[in-house]
Amino acid sequence: MSLAFTLAVRGLTLLGVLVLVLLLVVVVLGATGFSDRMLTAIVNEELRGIREGMARTIHDPDQLEAAVKARRQELVDFYGLNKPWYTRLPDMVKRVVTLDLGEARNLRSFKGSPKVASLIMERLPYTVLLLTTATLITTVIGLVVGVKLATQVGTFLDRGVSYLSAVSYALPAWWAGILLIVLLAFDLHLLPAGGLHSTPPPQGGLLRFLDLLYHAILPITTLVLVSLGAWIYTVRTMVLNTAQEFFVTVARAKGLPESRVMRRYILRVAAPPILTNVVLGLAASLGGAILTETVFNWPGMGRLYYEAIMTADESVIVALTFMFTLLYVAARFLLEVLYVVLDPRIRYT
């Protein structure tokens, strides 16, 4: 009963974090004037094009100004600029919290739908293919290599991989992506430079999917390259620190087999911090990577967030922030449960 109560309290606390993040987004968008300035700039830009179009058919300056003025008022009403931000944005947050994501003002899906849910569901699979796949590859290789290095501290392999890890960690993803594009796409012509499909795209479901995988090889390789080093060194450090604990020394003094010591006394205890990085990394991968997706012209969640900010599409910004925070809250709650299962030292009372 105490465990259920404790987890319920943790869950309510995380939901409070979710609400607080949304309130901060509203304040940042509204109180700073960012929302009004960006929407006013969009209205002015649209009116410029409308004026040029009307000038071809309306030659009377007074009639032209009256028509433009009427159109301006329609745009102001459409974007909600006739209302203060503290009345416009909270209603949007209320809809998003109830999973009524509404419609985007400026952005459209590939099929032309203005629904925010359609935008997210359209971009999410591409981000999963790119970021989540790269995260899983990095996680598996890092666990295998990191644990191996923790058992061979000070060897040539350990020092060599540690140096390579430092180099990998220092590489910016966008710079590594551009470098690999120049080398593998332009010089060697081994892989496509970017995009989702070839031009023209192949016909047929299987061929189209294989073409998509072919275009994903280079960005996935880039993401694995820049993140693998840090993850290997993180796993190595966590396992090594646990292996130096007193209870591990006692287990070895009892004459237990090294495989059992590694499995039950080291890896199980080191699992919670490692699992924290894995679960939070997988949750964060669904948010996309703005720079990497831009370099490879990959329409994922990161690009969607960037496009929403550049067009001041408040509905999309609030909805994406809510979805990303909800993923973080769910991941944190999952970790709270897994800690009890994995770490024998943790007991909720």
Whether 73 and 129 share a structural domain: no
Tokens of 236: 């190595």
Is the CB of residue 215 less than 8 Å from the CB of residue 197? Answer: yes
- Please choose, from the candidates 301, 270, 305, the residue with its C-alpha nearest in 3D space to the C-alpha of residue 122: 301
Q: Are 59 and 5 in contact (CB under 8 A)?
A: no
Phi, psi of 297 (to 5 degrees): 50, 50
- pTM of the predicted model, to two decimals? 0.73
Domain assignment present for residue 327? The answer is no
Q: What is the token pair recorded at 272?
A: 């919670």
* Same domain (yes/no): 11, 57: yes
Task: From residue 231, give the alpha-carbon distance in Å to each of 141, 146, 228, 285, 311.
Answer: 9, 8, 5, 15, 36
Predicted local distance difference test score (pLDDT) of residue 218: 92
- Residue 293 CA to its chain's centroid (Å): 11
Q: Tell me, what's the pLDDT at 313?
A: 78
Contact (CB, 8 A) for 112 and 53: no
Residue 30: which domain range?
2-88
Structure-token match 């993180």, residue found? 234
- For 176, the token pair is 């590594």
pLDDT computed for residue 108 by the predictor: 84
60: left (phi over 0), alpha (psi -120 to 50) or beta: beta
- Cα angle vertex 208, ends 205, 213, to 5°? 125
* Structural domains of the chain, count: 2
**Are 135 and 30 part of one and the same domain?**
no
Q: Are residues 211 and 263 in the same domain?
A: yes
Q: Please indicate, yes or no, if residue 243 is contained in any of the structural domains.
A: yes
Distance CA 345, CA 323 (A): 33
DSSP output for 288-312: --HHHHHHTT--SHHHHHHHHHHTT
CA distance 223 to 172: 10
Bridge partner list, 103: 115
9, 12, 7: which is closest to 346 by C-alpha? 7
Q: Say if 26 falls within a structural domain.
A: yes
Do 11 and 69 fall within a single domain?
yes
CATH number at residue 264: 1.10.3720.10
Domain stops at, among 67, 88, 109: 88
Q: Tell whether the torsion through CA atoms of 101, 105, 106 and 112 is positive or negative.
A: positive
Chain centre to alpha carbon of residue 315: 18
| pLDDT by position in tens, the chain (length 349) | 566 777 777 777 777 777 777 777 777 777 667 677 767 777 787 788 788 788 888 777 888 888 888 888 888 887 777 777 777 667 767 766 666 667 787 788 888 888 888 888 888 888 888 888 998 999 899 888 888 888 887 788 888 888 888 888 888 888 888 999 999 888 888 888 888 888 788 887 788 888 889 999 999 999 998 888 888 888 888 888 888 888 888 888 888 888 888 888 888 778 878 888 888 888 878 777 888 888 888 888 888 888 888 877 777 887 888 788 778 888 888 887 777 776 655 555 4
Q: Contact 277/231 with Cβ under 8 angstroms?
A: yes
Domain shared by 147 and 286, yes or no: yes
Q: Is residue 153 part of a domain?
A: yes
Kindly state whether residue 319 falls inside one of the protein's structural domains: no
Tell me: do 28 and 82 sit in the same domain: yes
- Looking at the fold, whether 157 and 306 belong to one and the same domain comes out as yes
One domain, residues 145 and 199: yes
Query: What was the pLDDT predicted at 3?
Result: 65
Q: Is residue 93 part of a domain?
A: no
**DSSP one-letter string for 91-152:** HHHHHHHTT---B-SS---TT---BHHHHHHHHHHHHIIIIIHHHHHHHHHHHHHHHHHHTS
Burial status of residue 276 (CB atoms within 10 A of its CB: 0-12, 13-18, 19 or more): middle
Q: Is the residue at 329 inside a domain?
A: no
The answer to the question of residue 348 being in a domain is no
Residues 6+ apart with CB under 8 A from 250: none
Indicate whether 180 and 76 sit together in one domain.
Answer: no
Q: Are residues 56 and 158 in the same domain?
A: no
Domain match, 198 and 291 both = yes
Give the whole-angstrom CA distance, residue 107 versus residue 104. 6
